[in-house]
């Protein structure tokens, strides 16, 4: 299966910076004869203006969230059909920063995933444990409940494992930790969705960078990476794409 590298820009990127980053990515990616799938997820403010350049460079456009309703009285929110209208193909849902800062529940994430799929988007649903849950031996229990609660029946998307304790730390989970959790997630997906669970892509996200990516991407059941800080510069993001399995 072709791997996928997803860049989550988070709340970063004014127009000049965003233009320069996409231009840099386009130049660098053009030198790769074969590569994995690449998705960039800028902030909402940059989606419309960056879309044409992103697609011209052979990348896909993603968003960082969507509302569960198609339209309505939801000031400050963006619906899945609005994203599709801008040429968006993927949407990140249930990121730990959304779950933590905006108090999103598994139920909310599941409703958003349903809305995303109905609109034609591919949801990237994030799951992961925090430092306290890890220390108390509750990692698998936590992730298992999140998978059950956040993924709807008929799920057609991607699952991203992001150990909350590793995000922004500069230190990824160990190769063994990633292997164990990826295998557990695969088992849970197969248990919940049967044979369809065997083909759902699983990403690792948590301080992925050019120094550790060659240890992460070969891990069994890891089908790519969800990248934060390293996706904000072409010189740190492109090496991750180069390290990915193209087929």
3-state DSSP assignment of residue 93: strand
- Is 70 annotated to bind a ligand? Reply is no
Contact 70, 80 (CB under 8 A): yes
Name the pairing type of β-strands 37-41 and 60-63.
parallel
Active-site entry in 97, 104, 129, 162: 162
CA–CA distance, 84 with 131 (Å, rounded to integer): 36
End-to-end Cα distance, the chain: 5
Contact 185, 159 (CB under 8 A): yes
Give the residue from 236, 233, 191, 189 showing the smallest Cα distance to 212. Answer: 236
- Is 212 annotated to bind a ligand? Reply is no
**Residue 95 falls in the annotated catalytic set:** yes
Active-site entry in 67, 95, 104, 129: 95
- Is 144 annotated to bind a ligand? Reply is no
- Is 150 annotated to bind a ligand? Reply is no
- Is 8 annotated to bind a ligand? Reply is yes
Annotated binding site for substrate: 8-10, 168, 207
**Binding-site annotation: residue ranges:** 8-10, 168, 207
Q: Which residues have a catalytic role annotated?
A: 95, 162
């Amino acid at each position: 299966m072709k791997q996928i590298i997803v860049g989550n820009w988070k709340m970063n990127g004014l127009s000049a910076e965003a233009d320069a980053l996409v231009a840099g990515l386009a130049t660098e990616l053009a030198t790769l004869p074969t590569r994995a799938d690449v998705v960039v997820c800028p902030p909402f403010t940059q989606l419309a203006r960056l879309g044409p350049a992103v697609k011209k460079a052979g990348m896909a456009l993603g968003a960082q969230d969507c509302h569960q309703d198609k339209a309505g009285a939801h000031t400050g929110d963006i619906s899945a059909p609005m994203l599709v209208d801008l040429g968006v193909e993927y949407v990140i849902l249930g990121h730990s920063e959304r779950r933590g800062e905006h108090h999103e529940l598994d139920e909310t994430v599941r409703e958003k995933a349903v809305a995303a799929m109905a609109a034609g988007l591919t949801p990237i649903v994030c799951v992961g444990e925090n430092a306290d849950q890890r220390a108390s031996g509750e990692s698998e229990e936590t992730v298992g409940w999140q998978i059950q609660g956040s993924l709807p029946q008929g799920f057609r998307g991607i699952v991203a494992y992001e150990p909350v304790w590793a995000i922004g730390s500069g230190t990824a989970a160990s190769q063994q930790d990633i292997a164990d959790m990826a295998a557990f997630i695969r088992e849970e997906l197969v248990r919940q969705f049967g044979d369809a669970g065997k083909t759902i892509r699983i990403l690792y996200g948590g301080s992925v960078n050019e120094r550790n990516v060659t240890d992460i991407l070969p891990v069994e059941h890891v089908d790519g990476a969800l990248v934060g800080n390293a996706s904000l510069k072409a010189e740190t993001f492109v090496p991750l794409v180069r390290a990915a399995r193209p087929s």
